[in-house]
């Protein structure tokens, strides 16, 4: 196992821009070179989200992306699959409310790895923080085509309400575009997590740079 | 974590009748009491197979079934999800050819837990055995409605060809009925794994007893 080969500690993580490598949103494109492109353009975190794929394919993709990121000092977070995160030597997992509960996931992963939790209410945010989550994905802040069956959008007010209740880093997610980065950062987000803003763009490098520029010039 | 609470070692396993608790085949019925019924009727292994369900639901079900089985000294094997097997304290995992590879699964699970591998060719069987699998699920021996997109059926000849190449226990799977148990055992199977023969029956107890009786009176 490649567990913790890079040994990145949580305090070093740059939460600014998490690119979610969503295999459906990427529409069949082979992700590792595109992720490398996103990282070279400045993405600060990568989350692999491969719902519905065969486990052997998620495993292959996760380990290949981990290799790609190894030279970049960028954390790889695996959605839902704690076993694949451990096997591929990823830095952590991201868990939705329908994934594994935080407590047993932490017991398996240990304290050194990152666990992010998707929340859409103040109650979920408080529970995740008190349960030991390292960061929150808060959303959907805006309407988004990348995910279906989500609760109503939070808007920047809902984001602000959650941010004010927790001390751990908060990533705004759901319909985030370069144009909206300024207002979600102004609302307190420590960073953003994006799917469509990168995978729906013709040019990954340009998309990532636009998101980062918006974050710096808010 | 309930890891290895029962501490069952592999040598004690009775391979005779593995009931696969397939959530789709069970058609929405709540599985724990039905599994308890199957075990009280004589089932010797339980495999939880919950493809496509939310992880939180598989986790709940796995841990609930583990509690149900705790008093019965019957191994619980979780399909595909090594993380859930570890968290729920199951005795092992069953891996298809599209699930996690054997080697990293073993690294996570350790040597004391059971790993079963689905195989349908002599080459896959040899690879699984040399890679350290504890048992094989060999099939489909017959046509079955429980699984789609499977390779051609093996028949008892194909089962016999695989059995003759390996030393680890072989469970015949795929279209197994009480009427067919005699011929698959005669072909060398150490046991059978069933889905439809139990979940398609009106009476779980009667179905399990018929399968066991066929195994004893072959």
Q: Name the pLDDT band for B152 (thresholds 50, 70, 90).
A: confident
Which of B51, B87, B89, B101 to probe the A interface (max A CBs under 10 A)?
Answer: B87
pLDDT digits (tens, 9 = 90+) for A151-197: 689 999 999 999 999 999 999 999 999 999 999 999 999 999 999 99
Range name among A14-18, A28-32, B36-40 with the lowest pLDDT average:
A28-32
Identify the H or E element spanning A144.
none
- Exposure letters A183-204 (e unless 16+ CB within 10 A, then b): bbbebbbbbbbbbbbbbebeeb
Does A53 have pLDDT greater than 60?
Answer: yes
Tell me the sheet residues that pair with B47.
Answer: B20, B77
Please report the residues numbered 17 through 76 in chain A whose beta carbons come closer than 8 angstroms to any beta carbon of chain B. 54-57, 59
Strand duo A45-49 + B17-22: pairing: unpaired
Tell me which residue in A54, A57, A101 faces B56 most closely, judged by beta carbons: A101
Q: How far apart are the first and last CA of chain A?
A: 42
- Predicted confidence at residue A28, as pLDDT, reads 85
Q: Are B201 and B27 in contact (CB under 8 A)?
A: no
Reported ipTM: 0.89
Task: Provide the token pair at B139.
Answer: 């099939």
* Residue positions counted in chain A: 218
- Predicted confidence at residue A5, as pLDDT, reads 45
Q: How far, in Å, CA of B200 to CA of B91, rounded?
A: 26
In 3D space, the residue among B198, B197, B138, B141 whose CA is nearest the CA of residue B169 turns out to be: B138
Does A8 have pLDDT greater than 90?
Answer: no
Identify the H or E element spanning A67.
helix A55-69
Q: Output the average pLDDT for chain A.
A: 92
pLDDT digits (tens, 9 = 90+) for B51-83: 889 999 999 999 999 999 998 989 999 999 999
Q: How far, in Å, CA of A20 to CA of A4, rounded?
A: 21
Name the residue with higher pLDDT: B179 or B217: B179
Interchain CB distance below 8 Å, B83 and A83: yes
Name the residue with higher pLDDT: A218 or A119: A119
- Predicted confidence at residue B81, as pLDDT, reads 97
Going A72 to B105 to B33 to B200, the CA torsion angle's sign is positive
Q: How far is CA A45 from CA A147, B86, B165, in A?
A: 20, 28, 48
Angle at A107 between CA A167 and CA B89, to 5 degrees: 150
Q: Are B190 and B171 in contact (CB under 8 A)?
A: yes
Task: Provide the token pair at B177.
Answer: 């009925």
Name the residue with higher pLDDT: B150 or A124: A124
Range name among A29-38, B71-80, B146-155, B165-174 with the lowest pLDDT average:
B146-155
- Predicted confidence at residue A71, as pLDDT, reads 86
Q: How far, in Å, CA of B179 to CA of B44, rounded?
A: 19
| Proportion of chain B above pLDDT 90, given as a percent | 83
Tell me which residue in A56, A57, A100 faces B83 most closely, judged by beta carbons: A100
- B81 at A interface, C-beta within 8 A: yes
Q: Long-range pairs for B198-201 at CB < 8 Å and ≥24 separation?
A: B198/B19, B198/B38, B199/B22, B199/B25, B199/B26, B199/B27, B200/B25
pLDDT digits (tens, 9 = 90+) for B3-34: 444 445 545 799 999 999 999 999 889 999 99
| Proportion of chain B above pLDDT 70, given as a percent | 91
pLDDT digits (tens, 9 = 90+) for B195-210: 999 999 999 999 999 9
Q: Name the pLDDT band for B146 (thresholds 50, 70, 90).
A: low
Exactly one of B8, B147, B163, B180 is catalytic; which is it?
A: B147
- Predicted confidence at residue A12, as pLDDT, reads 79
| B215 CB-near residues (< 8 Å, 6+ apart) | B16, B17, B181, B182, B185, B191, B192
Name the residue with higher pLDDT: B146 or A163: A163
The average pLDDT across A49-73 equals 94
Does A3 have pLDDT greater than 50?
Answer: no
| A40 CB-near residues (< 8 Å, 6+ apart) | A72, A205
Residue A7 C-alpha, separation from nearest chain B C-alpha, in angstroms: 19
Task: Provide the token pair at A157.
Answer: 């007010």
Q: How far, in Å, CA of B187 to CA of A130, rounded?
A: 57
The average pLDDT across B173-199 equals 96
- Predicted confidence at residue B35, as pLDDT, reads 97
Has B49 been annotated as catalytic?
yes
Has A70 been annotated as catalytic?
no
Does A29 have pLDDT greater than 80?
Answer: yes
3-state secondary structure of A172: strand
The average pLDDT across A210-217 equals 89
Q: Are A197 and A212 in contact (CB under 8 A)?
A: no
Q: Name the pLDDT band for B150 (thresholds 50, 70, 90).
A: low
3-state secondary structure of A64: helix
Exactly one of A81, A147, A163, A180 is catalytic; which is it?
A: A147
Has B164 been annotated as catalytic?
no
Q: How far is CA B167 from CA A33, B125, B162, B189, in A?
A: 43, 10, 10, 11
- Predicted confidence at residue A69, as pLDDT, reads 94
Q: Name the pLDDT band for B1 (thresholds 50, 70, 90).
A: very low
pLDDT digits (tens, 9 = 90+) for A102-131: 999 999 999 999 999 999 999 999 999 999
Q: Are B155 and B139 in contact (CB under 8 A)?
A: no
Q: What is the CA radius of gyration of chain B?
A: 16
Q: How far is CA B35 from CA A29, B136, B198, in A?
A: 42, 22, 10
- B97 at A interface, C-beta within 8 A: yes
Q: Angle between the B204-216 and B178-186 helix axes, to the nearest 10 degrees?
A: 30
């Amino acid at each position: 196992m490649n567990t913790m080969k890079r040994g990145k500690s949580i305090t070093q993580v740059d939460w600014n821009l998490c690119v979610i490598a969503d295999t459906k949103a990427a529409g069949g494109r082979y992700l590792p070179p595109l992720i490398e492109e996103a990282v070279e353009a400045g993405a600060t975190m990568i989350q692999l989200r491969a719902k519905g794929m065969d486990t052997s394919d998620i495993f292959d993709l996760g380990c290949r992306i981990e290799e790609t990121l190894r030279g970049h000092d960028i954390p790889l977070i695996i959605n839902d699959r704690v076993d694949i995160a451990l096997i591929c030597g990823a830095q952590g997992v991201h868990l939705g409310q329908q994934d594994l509960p935080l407590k047993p996931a932490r017991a398996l992963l240990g304290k050194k790895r990152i666990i992010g939790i998707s929340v859409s209410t103040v109650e979920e945010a408080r529970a995740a923080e008190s349960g030991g989550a390292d960061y929150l994905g808060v959303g959907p802040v805006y309407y988004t085509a990348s995910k279906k069956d989500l609760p109503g959008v939070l808007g920047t007010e809902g984001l602000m309400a959650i941010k004010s209740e927790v001390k751990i880093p908060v990533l705004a997610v759901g319909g985030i575009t370069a144009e909206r980065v300024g207002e979600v950062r102004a609302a307190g987000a420590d960073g953003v997590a994006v799917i469509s803003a990168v995978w729906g763009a013709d040019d990954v490098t340009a998309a990532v740079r636009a998101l980062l520029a918006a974050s710096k010039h808010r």
